Amino acid sequence: MAVTIKSEREIALMRESCRLLAHVHDRLGEMIRPGISTWEIDALGEKLIRECGGVPNFLNYNGYPASICVSVNEEVVHGIPSKERILKEGDIVSLDAGLIYKGYHSDAARTYPVGKVNDAVARLLRVTRQSFFEGIKYAREGCHLHDISFAIDSYCTRYGYGVVRDLVGHGIGTKLHEEPQVPNFKQWRRGIKLRAGMTLAIEPMVNMGGWRVRWLDDDWTVVTQDGSWSAHYENTVLITKGEPEILTLPSGMT
Ligand code: MF3
Ligand code: CO
DSSP string for 25-94: HHHHHHT--TT-BHHHHHHHHHHHHHHTT-EESSTTGGG--SSEEEEETTEEE-PPP-TT-B--TT-EEE
Neighbours of ion ligand 2 (CB under 5 A): 107, 201, 203
Q: Residue 70 Cα, ligand 1 centroid: separation in angstroms?
A: 11
Q: Residue 234 Cα, ligand 2 centroid: separation in angstroms?
A: 7
Ligand 1 lined by 78 (C-beta under 6 Å): yes
Element (H, E) at 230: strand 230-232
Among candidate residues 200, 237, 218, 215, the one with its CA nearest the CA of residue 166: 215
pLDDT at 177: 98
pLDDT at 250: 82
Q: pLDDT tens-digit profile of 9-40? A: 999 999 999 999 999 999 999 999 999 999 99
Q: Which atom of ligand 1 is nearest to the CA of 66?
A: 10
Residues in the chain: 254
> Which ligand is closest in space to the CA of residue 77?
1
Q: Which of 59, 62, 69 to mutate to test the pocket of ligand 1 (most atoms within 8 A of CB)?
A: 69
Q: Residue 175 Cα, ligand 1 centroid: separation in angstroms?
A: 12
Q: Which atom of ligand 1 is nearest to the CA of 108?
A: 1
pLDDT at 59 over 70: yes
Contact 138, 151 (CB under 8 A): yes
Higher confidence at residue 253 or residue 149? 149
Percent of the chain with pLDDT over 70: 98
Give the whole-angstrom CA distance, residue 133 versus residue 95: 19
Ligand 1 lined by 233 (C-beta under 6 Å): no
pLDDT average, residue stretch 228-242:
98
pLDDT average, residue stretch 75-96:
98
pLDDT at 254 over 50: no
* 230 CB-near residues (< 8 Å, 6+ apart): 71, 73, 74, 75, 76, 94, 124, 164, 205, 206, 207, 208, 223, 224
Ligand 1 lined by 66 (C-beta under 6 Å): no
Q: Residue 58 Cα, ligand 1 centroid: separation in angstroms?
A: 6
Ligand 1: residue whose CA is nearest its atom 4: 169
Q: For the CA atoms of 18, 23, 25, 28, what is the dihedral angle to 10 degrees? A: -160
pLDDT average, residue stretch 116-135:
98
pLDDT at 101: 98
Query: Residue 203 — very low, low, confident or very high, per pLDDT cuts 50/70/90?
Result: very high
Angle between helices 38-51 and 8-30 (to 10 degrees): 140
pLDDT at 252: 57
pLDDT at 90 over 80: yes
Q: Residue 227 Cα, ligand 2 centroid: separation in angstroms?
A: 23
pTM of model > 0.85: yes
Ligand 1: residue whose CA is nearest its atom 6: 58
Please give the mean pLDDT across all residues of the chain: 97
